[in-house]
Amino acid sequence: MKVARQRKKKELVVGLDLGGTFIKAGLVNQQGKILKKGQWPTLAEHGKRQIVINQMKTAVDSLLGHRPAPALAGIGIGTPGLVDNQGRVFEAPNLPNWHNLALGRIFEQTYRVPVRVENDVNSITWGEFLFGAGRGSQTMVCITLGTGLGGGVVVNGRLLRGAVFSAAELGHVTIDYHGPACNCGNLGCIERFVSRDAIVERATKAIASGRETLLVSLSGGDPKKITPKMISEAYRRGDRLAAEIWEDVGTCLGFFFVGLVNIFNPDRVVIGGGIARAGKPLFQQIRKIVRQHAMKKLSASVKFVPAGLGENTGIISAAALVLGSAMTL
Ligand SMILES: [Zn+2]
C-alpha cells in the first residue's frame, strides 16, 4: 500500500517552456495530459539572467502549490538556444547572459528531482514523437514553421544530438546557392524561402507588380498587413495568387524534404508551427515533390503529417523530456 502510494505520488512532472516573452509551464501526468498550467512573463527585458531564473522557479512553485517537490518525477525545460546533454545552455538568442549556464543543475539543486533541459525545437520533436503526431514512429523528422524554420530529428527512437549537441539546424540547409544570404553565414537557406516574412513578401511583391488578388481587399488595401492566415483565406476563396504562393512554398519545402528523406529515411515527417495551418495546399505540394524526386523506396515509406500537440505543445513536450528519458532520450 505504501509502495503504491509512493508510486502514485511520483506520477507528475513539470513541463516548462521558456520563451523570450513568456514562460509557459504545466503539471503533466505520465500520459502527457496537462492537469494544471499557467503563464508567467519571462522578464528578459530587465537584462538579468537571475530574474529569468527566479521567474522560472516562481512558475514551478505555483504549479506545485502545497506539494513537496519530491512528489515530482522530474522537471523538463525547453529553452531557446544550444544545450548539451548535461542541461548546460551555451547560448540563447533573446535571453540575457544565457551563456554557459548550468540550468539543469540549478533546478536539480533547488527541487532535488531529475531535470532535463533541451533546445525548444528538439523538445517539441521529442514531445511529438512521444505524445503527438509521431506516436508509433521510429525515425522521424519534425519541423516548426513560423518566423523561422526549426527542426529536430529522431533516429531509431533516439533524438539526434550531434558532435556538439547542435544537430538538426534544419532551417539552414541550402536549397539554392544563388539564393539570398542568411544571418547564419550560409546562402539560400530554406528558412529564407519559407519563413513567415518570405511568404508574405511573395504576396506584397506580386501586388506591387500589379497582380490582382483578393489579398488587396482582405488586407484593407495595406499590403503590409498581409499575413499567412490571410493568404490561406484568399486560397479558400479561390484566389489564384494565393494558390501560387502555397504551391511555391510547398515546392521549396518539398525539395528540402527530398534531401532529408534521402538522408534519414524517416517513416514520419511532422510539420508544426503557425505556417503549417495552411494545410492542404502546402502538404499536397510537399508530398507531390517528394514522391516525384526522392528515392522511390524511401518516398513510399514516409508520411507527412501536421503536428498533433496543438497550443500546449511547449509544455507537453518539455514534460516529455522527463517522461521519455528512461526510454531513449
Ligand atoms: Zn541560414
List, for residues 253-262, the tens digit of each pLDDT value. 999 999 999 9
- C-alpha closest to that of 299 among 284, 287, 281, 282: 287
- C-alpha closest to that of 189 among 169, 159, 213: 169
Contact 52/64 with Cβ under 8 angstroms? no
Cell of 252: 521549396
Residues 6+ apart with CB under 8 A from 228: 196, 199, 200, 274, 275, 277, 278
Give domain 136-307's CATH number out of 3.90.1150.10, 3.30.420.40, 3.20.80.10, 1.20.120.80: 3.30.420.40
| Separation of first and last alpha carbons in the chain | 31
- C-alpha closest to that of 307 among 94, 48, 130, 66: 130
Q: In this structure, how many other beta carbons lie within 10 angstroms of the beta carbon of residue 21? A: 11
Residue 92 has what pLDDT? 83
Give the residue extent of every domain in the chain.
Answer: 2-128+312-323, 136-307
* Strand partners of residue 101: 89
46 CA to centre of ligand 1 in angstroms:
29
Q: Which long-range contacts (CB under 8 A, 24 or more apart) does 42-47 make?
A: 42/18, 42/95, 44/20, 44/94, 44/95, 44/96, 46/96, 47/96, 47/97
Taking every pair of Cα atoms in the chain, the longest distance, rounded to a whole number of angstroms, is 75
Mean pLDDT of 137-157: 96
Rounded CA-CA distance 29/11 in Å is 6
7 CA to centre of ligand 1 in angstroms:
46
> 92-106, 228-242, 259-273, 304-318: which has the minimum mean pLDDT?
92-106
Contact 261/301 with Cβ under 8 angstroms? no
| Residue 6 pLDDT greater than 50, yes or no | no
CATH class of the domain defined by 2-128+312-323: alpha beta
Give rounded-to-5 percent helix, strand, coil for the chain. Answer: 45, 20, 35
Average pLDDT of the chain?
93
Rounded CA-CA distance 180/4 in Å is 60
Q: State phi, psi for 79 to the nearest 5 degrees.
A: -125, 150
Residue 69 has what pLDDT? 64
Q: Which DSSP symbol is given to 190?
A: T
| Residue 302 pLDDT greater than 70, yes or no | yes
- C-alpha closest to that of 126 among 304, 328, 290: 328
148 CA to centre of ligand 1 in angstroms:
10
Q: Which residue has the cell 522527463?
A: 322
Rounded CA-CA distance 175/189 in Å is 6
- Which ranges of 30-165 does DSSP label H, i.e. alpha helix? 49-64, 103-111, 120-131
Residue 283 has what pLDDT? 98
195 CA to centre of ligand 1 in angstroms:
11
- C-alpha closest to that of 205 among 219, 232, 222, 223: 223
182 CA to centre of ligand 1 in angstroms:
5
Q: Please indicate whether the domains covering 2-128+312-323 and 136-307 agree at the CATH topology level.
A: yes
How far is CA 231 from each of CA 181, 208, 213, 283, rounded to the nearest angstrom? 26, 16, 10, 15
| Residue 303 pLDDT greater than 60, yes or no | yes
- List, as ranges, residues with CB under 5 A of the ion ligand 1: 172, 182, 184, 186, 189
Q: Which DSSP symbol is given to 224?
A: G
Percent of the chain whose predicted confidence (pLDDT) is above 70: 95
Rounded CA-CA distance 302/137 in Å is 10
pTM here is 0.92
116 CA to centre of ligand 1 in angstroms:
28
Helix 240-264 vs helix 196-208: angle between axes, to the nearest 10 degrees? 150
Contact 82/91 with Cβ under 8 angstroms? yes
Mean pLDDT of 187-213: 97
pLDDT band at 325 (very low <50, low <70, confident <90, very high): low
Residue 70 has what pLDDT? 61
